[in-house]
Amino acid sequence: MAERRPIAARSTGWAQAAARRLAGSRVTPNQISASSMGFAALAFGCLWLTRGAGPSLDAALLCAAALFCQLRLVANLLDGMVALEGGKGGPTGPFWNEAPDRVADVVILAGLGLAVGMAWLGCLAGALAVGTAYLRELGRAEGLAADFCGPMAKPQRMAVVTAGCVGGAVEALGWGSGWALLAALGLVALGTGVTALRRALRLIRALSLPGRGGT
């Protein structure tokens, strides 16, 4: 975890207070990382249940899904703060820092795909999300700096999904349609594809620089 995604929320009072409290408890950074998968599973369940649940229940489920997406990000924020600033990091930290994130991405986006009746698009978006992370870690394995470039990295993906869920809740109550969710999923899939392509090109360019050698 030598290189971390730049996140402005790390310097906020609530994040630092929460990290200090967790660092002083028996909770480990790895447990916090794993909890992100639990929040993703809850978001998936809420999204899946929106299929014909009725306007009021759909709206409530979508608001809950939005909340769980944000809690997933909070877990992703606090695990590193507790590990590094709290001095509770361990040898298995790199695994728990990355693997739950990949699961959470796929689960949430697959749930969004089910909610709009386009499971294939949700799975495609999830696969592209995993691909962007793979390209970042491949670069790191080659000795390059971690590439967190967008336009649709993890924070942006979850922001779009959250906005889509909130917009979908309003839409369900007002019109009974689901265009907000479909728009969010389409935007995430397209933006993540662009992000994967951009990272791939940046990686190829960096690996092609003189002095790096080759195989």
Q: Where are the domains of the chain?
A: 8-207
Asked if 130 contacts 78 with a C-beta cutoff of 8 angstroms, the reply is: no
- 91 burial via Cβ count (<10 Å: 0-12, 13-18, 19+): exposed
**The dihedral formed by the CA atoms of 91, 92, 93 and 94, expressed in degrees to the nearest 10:** 100
Looking at residue 91, the DSSP 8-state letter turns out to be T
CA distance between the termini of the chain: 28
In order along its 215 residues, the chain shows pLDDT tens digits of 457 788 888 989 999 999 999 999 999 999 999 999 999 999 999 999 997 778 899 999 999 999 999 999 999 999 999 998 888 989 999 999 999 999 999 999 999 999 999 999 999 999 999 999 999 999 999 999 999 999 999 999 999 999 999 999 999 999 888 899 999 999 999 999 999 999 999 999 999 998 765 54
Query: What's the CATH architecture for 8-207?
Result: Up-down Bundle (1.20)
What are φ and ψ of residue 176, in 5° steps?
Answer: 75, 20
